[in-house]
Chain A
Amino acid sequence: MYTLEHVSKTYAQSKRRITALQDVSLTIPKGQLVAIQGPTGGGKSTLLQMLGALDRPSIGRVALGEAELSHLPDRRLAGIRAKEIGFVFQGFNLIPTLTALENVETALEPLGVSADERRRRATEALGSVGLGDRGGHVPSELSGGQQQRVAIARALVKEPDVLLADEPTGNLDEQTRDDIMDLLEGLWRDRGLTLIVVTHDSAVAKRAERRLHIRDGAVTER
């Protein structure tokens, strides 16, 4: 469960100060599927950074369960990201020189899993997203939808509590978008994940239990 209290994030950009998040307070219970929508520059990605322990708020408190994400040192945040949080990105963000299987394995690297165990779990995760036969291919040999499936396998192989996705279907065609959303929804249902999806696409947002709208750094429920 996420708890956000009076969270603000400001960026000092040359002379101007940009307020990306403005006094956001909300709670997200464990296992919820949340869609975050809003105009470009509204602060969606910034909110996701707070939830994903990638950055700390300028003011306010962010907690994931017992962990105070807003006040922990970098090393602890990296540990929390490694164990509890899975990420899926708009640009897939696979390592271009590594094969699909090796890309999935990178998620287990910081957990100190043995090489054999790592390979076994990565193969299993690739199978669960329907790419069991594509493990040896590098990203450039895969379609956009297949690459995003590899990225989802990478996010899930560590069995996280939370899955955060920043426009996971933004670079995909409609058919593939629906396939990927079906996959994410299925995983959310099966594994009891907390799934938070940032999206421009109302077709995607419609599938969520809860929809948040963020404009000029201020969050409203829909």
Chain B
Amino acid sequence: MFFTYLRRELAGRRRQTAIIAIGMALAIALVMIVNSVSTGVRDAQAAVLESVYGVGTDLTVSQSPTPPAEGEAGGPRFEFGADAGTTTDGSTEISQSRLSAGPGSTTFDEADLASVQGLDGVAAASATLSLTNTTFDGELPDFQQSTQGTDQMPADGEQPAAPPQGGFDGAGGSAFDVDSFTVLGLDPASAAVGPLSAVELADGRGLEASDTGEAVAVLDAGYATTAELAVGDTIDVGGTEFEIVGTVSSTSADAATAANVYLPLDLAQSISGEEGMISSISVQAESADGIDALQAEIEEALPDATVSTQSDLAASVSGSLASASSLISNLGLWVSLAVLVAAFLIAILFTIQGVTRRTREFGTLKAIGWSNGRVVGQVAGESLVQGLIGGAVGLVLGLVGIWAVNLIAPTIGGSSGSDVVAGGPGGREMVMQAGGPGGGFGGAMPSAASSAEVVLQAPVTVSVIAIAIGLAIAGGLVAGAFGGWRAARLRPAEALRSVA
């Protein structure tokens, strides 16, 4: 009887069933999509972190940058002597490549690595040196021409001195390119921890223990493509030619790796002049529970260092990923909550209205001996099934919505650490600073921190499905409770109320 009656009611009152179910369905679908997308954003954050710091890195040790002393440039300096370059046709071509510590990062003594490795609870630790290679390439006019022009004032009627010649436009102009890429020096023997643990080989081979002291380099596959370099080519880093032995790409799809070029640590140190210096230590803890204790331990051992855990680092992920994350967690949450509350209210109001409309029906059932509990159960059962229908429709809608998000697959960028540094035009100075607090050259350059592009994937997890089913049941029960409460209060004598 319960199921017969239930079936007949839902089929016989299709409009009410449809309104309640559609309201629930929309709310459930929205909650599912928001939940799934925010999981996707979290995964993307993890992917960015992984590509920058590596898999299995529990703690990262670095030193916070200190502003450079007065008059000291934060970026690389290019200094050309009077005889630098080769002069042809009144213009001088100069080219220089410099490797220096990335702006915004501070180097510290390699000995700290040994201190960290010596601590209890450290499973592995490896050091990296984060550098930026800047190449200056340019053509300058012969400045002696203009000097002559000023010394010899032209006499009346005479032709003015010939305009300066040479330079890239043949009229005394100058042109130069500043090109930069990020370089990461790492110990080829301990690639298991650190940035290279989150990469897979795209071509050639990775750095091996025997590469220490060898002029070999591994390139980010994406960078190699843009720079038109391949395994077997050479790349000029700080004036030294390195043989490219391999290219790597991120294991998390579509994210770039931590740096453009990877070199053996010792060579990176000597070429950049950062002998015995490192910029970051990646630490793997022996157990996940010990991370907090280990963090304190390292901070004690290295008072000047900044020790960050993965969750600290997650907070530092910036860029559109961070705004996506806050958009989802704020706006998405509130909108879906509002729709959910609206859907619940609609379900409750329609259920109460339905019970009121059926006053005589329920009064009659009570008059012929149905117990209060039996009538309430019938009302609650109807609401529960309406909720479940809404849940089923919502589940389908939600899955379609998540599928659509994945179909669009928005790409979001995230960078970890300090933001991109943009400088204004620095003028025609011969000393140029690429980024850094001391002022900048035109254009934007990535800071020492790395950035990555991640395609947002909204996963369908068990919890997404469980939320949908849970909400459907909750919505049905809440509406059923209100409807049942209304039905319980009906007097059996209502059955005798004269018909209008």
Contact = CB atoms under 8 A, between A and B. Distances in A.
A95 B342 CA distance: 31
A18 to B, nearest CB: 15
A95 B1 CA distance: 13
Interface string B336-369: 0000000000000000000000001100111111
A39 interface: no
A106 B368 CA distance: 8
Interface in A26-76: 45, 48-49, 52, 54-55, 74-75
A78 B366 contact: yes
Interface of B: 1, 4-5, 8-9, 11-13, 360-361, 364-372, 374, 491-493, 495-496, 498-499
Interface of A: 45, 48-49, 52, 54-55, 74-75, 78-79, 81-83, 86-87, 89-91, 93, 95-98, 102, 105-107, 109-111, 115, 118, 154-155, 158, 166, 171
**3 closest pairs, A vs B, by CB?**
A82-B369, A97-B12, A91-B499
10 contacts: A48-B496, A74-B372, A79-B369, A83-B369, A87-B367, A91-B498, A98-B4, A107-B369, A110-B369, A166-B496
Nearest to A55: B493
Given A102-B4, A107-B368, A89 B495 contact: yes
A42 to B, nearest CB: 13
Interface centre among A54, A154, A166, A171 (most CB of B within 10 A): A54
B493 A171 contact: no
B374 A97 contact: no
Contacts of B360: 91, 93
Nearest to B2: A109
Contacts of B8: 97-98, 102
Contacts of A93: 360-361, 364, 495
A93 B368 CA distance: 11
Given A89-B364, A91-B499, A96-B12, A54 B369 contact: no
Contacts of B361: 93, 95-96
Given A55-B491, A75-B371, A91-B360, A106 B365 contact: yes
B499 A97 contact: no
A97 B369 contact: no
B372 A78 contact: yes
Contacts of B374: 109-110
A155 B369 CA distance: 11
Contacts of A107: 368-369
A97 B368 CA distance: 17
Given A54-B491, A54-B495, A91-B499, A82 B12 contact: no
Given A54-B493, A166-B496, 6 more contacts: A49-B493, A55-B491, A75-B372, A93-B361, A106-B370, A110-B369
Nearest to A53: B492
Interface centre among A78, A115, A155 (most CB of B within 10 A): A78
A95 B372 CA distance: 17
A106 B1 contact: yes
Contacts of A118: 1
Nearest to A113: B1
B370 A109 contact: yes
A82 B370 CA distance: 7
B12 A110 contact: no
B13 A97 contact: yes
A206 B492 CA distance: 30
A97 B4 CA distance: 10
Contacts of A95: 5, 361, 364-365
A88 to B, nearest CB: 11
Contacts of B5: 95, 97-98, 102, 106
Interface centre among B361, B364, B499 (most CB of A within 10 A): B364
Nearest to B362: A95
A115 B2 CA distance: 11
B489 to A, nearest CB: 12
Contact of B11 (A97, A111, A115, A166): A97
